[in-house]
């Protein structure tokens, strides 16, 4: 499990603590940022407890902070700005096994736009975009296994081949198998190129329980 998925799990787990969850829900439902005092007063929770939990939620990327003068005054004697909290821009989702539907959406949207602008086949545009994205994801990598693991493919070395134990677009592949398999193939081909692995190639080899792509010796 790579860093971003681990962080998402930690964020979700943090909200299992009842007081922390109450504080989080209060903050995100407010139309304006709120201070520690606002939260403490509204929920009848000690200010020190409020400060601890809110700052923990900031560390996890679930809340963001800012500073505001709450007295309505400015200049000398106005006092220090208060720390205020609001919902962070980060969106957290967890799926096991890992899924990458945001990546699929980006590739599909880019392919449709390219096809509309150039008149090319959307399927061809998708394969090209997937190869470009795969090369970008693997740029600077020394081998392909780490990149595949990082993006949810669950690679498993078997002899000289690499089997992929998970399709990051599984639900989408169930309804649009040909389209998603071609996208997966383009991504893995791009990753191989980006990592400079010229001794291996990707090929389609759909089998139950595995991704449709397999990495084999060139």
- Whether 65 and 124 share a structural domain: no
Evaluate whether residue 41 is within a structural domain. yes
pLDDT above 50 for 1? no
137-194 tens-digit pLDDT: 999 888 889 899 888 888 998 888 999 988 988 888 889 999 999 999 999 999 999 9
- Whether 167 and 202 share a structural domain: yes
- Whether 112 and 22 share a structural domain: no
Which is it for strands 161-164 and 213-217: parallel, antiparallel or unpaired? antiparallel
User: Final residue of a domain: which of 63, 87, 111?
Assistant: 87
In terms of C-beta density within 10 A (0-12 exposed, 13-18 middle, 19 or more buried), how is residue 170 classed?
Answer: middle
Q: Is the pTM of this model over 0.75?
A: no
Cβ distance 141 to 195 under 8 Å?
yes
- Whether 166 and 193 share a structural domain: yes
The number of distinct structural domains making up the chain is 2
Widest CA span in the chain = 73
User: Final residue of a domain: which of 87, 116, 134?
Assistant: 87
- Provide CB contacts within 8 A for 118, sequence distance 6+: 125
Evaluate whether residue 94 is within a structural domain. no
Tokens linked to 125: 């545009």
- Whether 15 and 63 share a structural domain: yes
**Domain range for 14:** 3-87
- Whether 108 and 160 share a structural domain: yes
- Whether 39 and 111 share a structural domain: no
In terms of C-beta density within 10 A (0-12 exposed, 13-18 middle, 19 or more buried), how is residue 121 classed?
Answer: exposed
- Whether 8 and 55 share a structural domain: yes
- Whether 65 and 171 share a structural domain: no
Evaluate whether residue 141 is within a structural domain. yes
- Whether 202 and 110 share a structural domain: yes
- Whether 109 and 210 share a structural domain: yes
Q: In the structure, what pLDDT confidence band is assigned to residue 72 with cuts at 50, 70 and 90?
A: low
pLDDT above 80 for 70? no
pLDDT above 70 for 209? yes
CATH code of the domain in which 52 resides: 1.10.10.10
Evaluate whether residue 45 is within a structural domain. yes
Evaluate whether residue 93 is within a structural domain. no
Evaluate whether residue 59 is within a structural domain. yes
- Whether 174 and 74 share a structural domain: no
User: Final residue of a domain: which of 87, 118, 138?
Assistant: 87
pLDDT above 70 for 76? no
Evaluate whether residue 60 is within a structural domain. yes
Tokens linked to 88: 């962070």
Q: Write down the pLDDT at residue 68.
A: 85
């Amino acid at each position: 499990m790579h860093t971003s998925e681990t962080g998402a799990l930690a964020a979700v787990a943090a909200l299992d603590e009842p007081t922390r969850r109450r504080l989080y829900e209060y903050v995100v439902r407010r139309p304006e940022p709120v201070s520690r005092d606002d939260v403490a007063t509204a929920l009848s929770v000690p200010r020190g407890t409020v400060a601890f939990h809110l700052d923990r939620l900031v560390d996890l990327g679930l809340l963001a902070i800012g500073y505001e003068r709450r007295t309505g005054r400015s200049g000398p004697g106005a006092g220090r700005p208060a720390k205020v909290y609001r919902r962070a821009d980060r969106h957290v989702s967890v799926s096991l096994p890992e899924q990458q539907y945001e990546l699929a959406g980006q590739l599909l949207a880019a392919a449709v736009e390219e096809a509309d602008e150039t008149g090319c086949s959307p399927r061809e545009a998708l394969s090209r975009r997937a190869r470009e994205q795969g090369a970008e994801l693997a740029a600077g990598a020394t081998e392909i296994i780490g990149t595949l693991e990082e993006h949810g493919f669950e690679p498993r070395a078997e002899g000289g081949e690499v089997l992929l134990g998970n399709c990051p677009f599984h639900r989408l592949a169930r309804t649009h198998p040909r389209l998603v398999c071609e996208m997966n193939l383009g991504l893995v081909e791009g990753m191989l190129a980006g990592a400079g692995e010229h001794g291996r190639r990707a090929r389609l080899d759909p089998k139950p329980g595995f991704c449709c792509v397999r990495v084999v010796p060139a």
